[in-house]
Structure 1
Amino acid sequence: MSFHWESTVFAIIAFLILYWLLNKFAFGPLFGMMEKRREMIQSQIQSAESNRQEAEKLITEQRQAIQEARKEAHEIIEQARQMSVKQAEEIVQAARDESNRIKEEAIKDIANEKDKAVAALRSQVSAMAVMIASKIIEKQIDEKSQQQLIDQYLKEVGGKL
């Protein structure tokens, strides 16, 4: 075996030409495709990260909206409670006012009826007194008979009351 330097030089030149052809026609497009793929993957990673951040932001907003809705619902319930208490108090107060009005009317009616009864009694008593006086004058009786007559008429008046 002998060493031929010409074939070594020829092999080196062929390798360099092959490397240059591969670099120009194969490695360039291959590396370009790999670079595009790397850029695409990088953009997808960034897009996924921005989507994740946006999703977290939306989740936070939804949680806040739910908290606000709960707070509003609680406020509405509290307002309804207060309104029902106020309405109940108004109804009770209206009932008290009405009962007081009816009571006052009844007291006035009773006083009127009492006044009428007293007036009627006075007229009856005065009529009786006139009748007694006329009977006394008619009979001209003694004091004992007058007292009996007065007692009798008072019993009659007492029975009519």
Structure 2
Amino acid sequence: MESAQPQPQPRPGLAQMAPRSYDKKAYQTIYPQYIDSYLSPSEGRRLTKTQGVEHPTMDEVLLALRVLGYKDVLVDAARSYPRSQSTTKFPMVPRGCIKVAIKTPVDEHYIKKSDFDTQTRNAVVAGIESKHELLRRVAALIKEKVPNRPQLATVDDIIAAYNPTPQPKGKR
């Protein structure tokens, strides 16, 4: 007879870590780089510069999701946005992504009428029907709730701090 080992309790906090197996189709992935106004669209920004926030952190995005009312949020701290791995704008590659269920699961409050039924699922939070609208709301909340955000050091700032005297630019 096996003794029942106690299961580890989840830490109280903003979100739970992503389990190894979960329904990946039910979640949308959000990287903080999606709302970073410092990046260009080719580097991963999905909002306009005026809508975005400069250097958002994963904690700020999680807090904004909680304020909006999302409860089914998973965090994957080990993942990094593939486009940010090749840019020189960051001294270190930013890590972490957030998985959020924007729509209710298929099996919840939904009876499929036939195999051809294409009825859309209901949004978890009223008024936020798409991922793009969610990104806009998250960026607006970060701007509103955290007005004096600390600025991250860029590669140019680190080089300037290390080498304070400006070097002449040109051919030698």
> What band does the TM-score fall into relative to the shorter chain?
under 0.3
Structure number having the greater strand percentage: 2
Structure number having the greater helix percentage: 1
**Larger RCO, structures 1/2 (Cα 8 Å, 6+ apart):** 2
Which one has a bigger Cα radius of gyration? 1
TM-score, with structure 1 as normaliser: 0.16
TM-score, with structure 2 as normaliser: 0.15
